[in-house]
């Protein structure tokens, strides 16, 4: 079968590999649509970082590895002991790989597993291949009224959903979101789905500011021109916002965030940073501000996102800005996202499951 595998920096190959067989408690599925993620781009441009170069503690695999961790698909074959899933079922894959035995996992924090990994980054194949085998614990059924295309958006939406779940945000709070990329847009939609108060987005790209508005931001600011701190105070009772979601991961944004958040407010970091940043602890101390990190999602987030889409509380379809085929991933997918970043949100790869 064909697969897109990551061999190393700027070395992505469309190549033939063996078709996997489902074992006990596993299913073989044909991916339908696969999103390309910022994490994939980081690996391609500067990696391997997350992709293991020595055997991963759970999968035992290392590069070259099949890419693709945001995907929907159709079950082709159920392995031994699998009764909840049958050929033809439409599903999405929650790609976290966890050991289920460490302290974090035992507390339900599978996203913080001390050995964690991802389908499509750490082994067990990935969405960018004609077939993939995963354990049924990764699967969620898609309701009839949610398309396989939109199914591929559940993973990035779950990141934003989880960030809001874990944050101290409560209905009616004012929020500042730094960055209007796919994750910033996911946070906006998660907030809208629960009746957001005031959503302010800071984003340099005009096209991305348009997207932010389209998905429900009440105020969009340009950090190159606007004074973000002054604007946030002006819009929020001269105090600033209750919660900041940092979906950009740049020092200049953090410098503003620290002063744009009110007393006892919280800065939630969702971004993956390329290098360390600095923060003056006194800026937290004297206003009792908090700074916290969130990572991916836990069990429950995927189902909540699927339910929000199915019930019409979220309508994420317009996040899809381009569709390509499996043999075009590097040229029309990765290179488009690198060179035409401002005009793209999600590039989806059609693999063919469910057609």
Task: Tell me which DSSP letter residue 332 carries.
Answer: I
113 interacts with Zn ion by CB under 5 A:
yes
96 interacts with Zn ion by CB under 5 A:
no
99 interacts with Zn ion by CB under 5 A:
yes
Q: Please tell me the distance from the alpha carbon of residue 176 to that of residue 168, in angstroms, as a whole number.
A: 13
Cβ proximity of 72 and 91 under 8 Å:
yes
Say whether 107 sits in a helix, a strand or coil.
coil
* Of positions 102, 229, 252, 324, contacts Zn ion by CB under 5 A: 102
For the bound state, the minimum distance from the C-beta of residue 99 to Zn ion, rounded and expressed in Å, comes to 4
Stretch that binds Zn ion, among 109-117, 130-138, 159-167, 344-352 (CB under 5 A): 109-117
Torsion sign (Cα): 198, 201, 206, 211: negative
Stretch that binds Zn ion, among 98-106, 177-185, 271-279, 324-332 (CB under 5 A): 98-106
Q: Is the CB of 87 or the CB of 100 nearer to Zn ion?
A: 100
For the bound state, the minimum distance from the C-beta of residue 293 to Zn ion, rounded and expressed in Å, comes to 18
58 interacts with Zn ion by CB under 5 A:
no
* Of positions 105, 128, 175, 349, contacts Zn ion by CB under 5 A: 105
Q: Please tell me the distance from the alpha carbon of residue 181 to that of residue 319, in angstroms, as a whole number.
A: 10
Stretch that binds Zn ion, among 25-33, 113-121, 137-145, 283-291 (CB under 5 A): 113-121
Torsion sign (Cα): 343, 229, 263, 284: positive
Cβ proximity of 94 and 138 under 8 Å:
yes
Question: By CB under 5 A, how many residues form the interface with Zn ion?
Answer: 5
Joined tokens for residue 232: 């946030």
Stretch that binds Zn ion, among 27-35, 100-108, 164-172, 187-195 (CB under 5 A): 100-108
252 interacts with Zn ion by CB under 5 A:
no
Stretch that binds Zn ion, among 101-109, 146-154, 156-164, 230-238 (CB under 5 A): 101-109
To which residue do tokens 């929650």 refer?
Answer: 94
Q: Please tell me the distance from the alpha carbon of residue 7 to that of residue 207, in angstroms, as a whole number.
A: 33
To which residue do tokens 């105090």 refer?
Answer: 239
How far is C-alpha 199 from the geometric centre of its chain's CA atoms? Answer: 20
Per CB under 5 A, residues contacting Zn ion are 98-99, 102, 105, 113
């Amino acid at each position: 079968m064909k697969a897109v595998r990551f061999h190393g920096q700027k070395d992505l190959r469309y190549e033939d590999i063996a078709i996997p067989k489902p074992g006990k408690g596993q299913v073989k599925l044909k991916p339908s649509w696969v999103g390309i993620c910022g994490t994939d781009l980081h690996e391609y441009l500067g990696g391997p970082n997350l992709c293991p170069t020595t055997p991963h503690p759970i999968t035992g695999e290392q590069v070259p590895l099949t890419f693709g961790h945001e995907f929907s698909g159709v079950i082709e074959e159920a392995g031994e002991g699998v009764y909840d899933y049958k050929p033809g079922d439409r599903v999405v894959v929650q790609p976290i790989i966890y050991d289920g035995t460490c302290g974090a996992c035992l507390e339900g924090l599978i996203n913080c597993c001390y050995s964690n990994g991802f389908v499509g980054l750490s082994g067990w194949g990935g969405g960018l291949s004609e077939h993939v085998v995963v354990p049924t614990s990764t699967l969620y059924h898609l309701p009839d009224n949610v398309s396989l295309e939109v199914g591929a958006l559940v993973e990035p939406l779950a990141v934003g959903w989880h960030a809001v779940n874990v944050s101290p945000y409560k209905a009616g709070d004012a929020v500042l979101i730094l960055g209007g990329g796919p994750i910033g847009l996911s946070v906006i939609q998660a907030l809208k789905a629960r009746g957001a108060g005031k959503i302010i987005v800071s984003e340099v790209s005009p096209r991305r500011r348009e997207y932010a508005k389209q998905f429900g931001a009440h105020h969009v600011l340009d950090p190159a021109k606007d004074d973000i701190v002054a604007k946030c105070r002006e819009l929020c009772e001269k105090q600033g916002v209750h919660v900041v979601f940092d979906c950009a991961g740049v020092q200049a944004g953090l410098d503003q965030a620290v002063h744009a958040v009110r007393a006892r407010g919280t800065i939630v970091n969702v971004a993956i940073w390329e290098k360390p940043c600095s923060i003056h602890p006194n800026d937290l101390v004297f206003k009792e501000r908090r700074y916290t990190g969130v990572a991916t999602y836990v069990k429950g987030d995927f189902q909540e996102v699927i339910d929000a889409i199915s019930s019409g509380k979220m309508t994420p379809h317009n996040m899809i800005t381009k569709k390509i085929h499996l043999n075009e991933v590097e040229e029309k997918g990765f290179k488009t996202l690198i060179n035409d970043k401002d005009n793209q949100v999600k590039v989806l790869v059609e693999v063919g499951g469910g057609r």
